[in-house]
Amino acid sequence: MSDIEYETLKEALNAAKDKKDFSPLNLFLMDNIDDLEDEDRKQAINGIWDIFTISKKVPYEGNPTDYHDSKSGHENFTSCLDEIDEWNENNEDEKLDTLIKENFEDVFSFLKKYKLFGMAHDFSRNVRNNSKSQNLIAEYKNLTNYIIDESDDEYKAGGGLQMFLDDFDLSKAQANKIFKAAENLCSKSDFKDLKTLYQERCDAPEDDYDYLHEDEHWTKFSRVM
């Protein structure tokens, strides 16, 4: 990340657009998010998507599993959304919901093009945690299905399956699929830990944080943090 300190949001946004890189904006938001006025926050939210529109034209370069090592400017995309989410935690403004929904297919296409399962995992958290109006269920399901069904064995075995059970709203069928995969991909000790976590989620009462949706037609998040 750059060591340059930006005095204003406008400077950070302009630098990010010029570089086609999220680092300047992320650096500014990390230092200043609590001091932003409402209008600045809205400008920052819009800016995230302006930068994404520019950056998606840049070919991804780097390790797709550990995308924070990327040299192509995409690695702080979800971090910028995290900063806004943290600030917006108790705010009923649905602006971010709307923009995630409007831009979801572009983000999803980019993630699939370069098989960025780690970034997809983090983006799923943005989709879920930022949803104030519960209108992003379909997008969240598509993202979750992609990560569970299409991520490679190396990603799953390297802690991915544990993260799936830790982080995601899941149907019972998805949890079963994760558990079945774990039998073949995990070490004995990791499988034992995952088995415990799997059982805890299976036994959780309805609407508990760890509750598994009984079918694929669930319409409400149960794991909003």
Mean pLDDT calculated for residue range 84-113:
83
Amino acid at residue number 100: I
Q: Which residue did the predictor score with more confidence, 223 or 180?
A: 180
89 pLDDT above the threshold of 70:
no
Provide the β-strand partners of residue 213.
Answer: 171
Confidence of residue 199 (pLDDT cuts 50, 70, 90): very high
Contact by Cβ (8 Å): 119, 67: yes
pLDDT digits (tens, 9 = 90+) for 26-52: 999 999 988 888 889 889 999 999 999
Going by pLDDT thresholds of 50, 70 and 90, the confidence category of residue 5 is confident
Maximum pairwise Cα distance, the chain? 52
Question: Under DSSP, is residue 213 helix (H, G, I), strand (E, B) or coil?
Answer: strand
Contact (CB, 8 A) for 186 and 178: no
Question: What dihedral do alpha carbons 54, 59, 30, 51 form, nearest 10°?
Answer: 10
What pLDDT sits at residue 1? 43
* Nearest Cα to Cα of residue 162 among 179, 146, 177: 179
Cα 147 from Cα 167, distance rounded (Å):
12
Which of 187, 173, 178 minimizes the C-alpha distance to 217? 173
**Residue 3 scores a pLDDT above 60:** no
| Phi and psi at residue 213, to the nearest 5° | -65, 135
Report the pLDDT averaged over residues 3-8.
80
Confidence (pLDDT) at 211: 93
Confidence of residue 220 (pLDDT cuts 50, 70, 90): confident
Alpha-carbon distances, residue 179 vs 160, 174, 176, 193, 215 (angstroms): 12, 9, 5, 11, 17
Query: 3-state class of 136 per DSSP?
Result: coil
pLDDT for 92 equals: 57
Asked whether the whole model's pTM tops 0.85, one would answer: yes
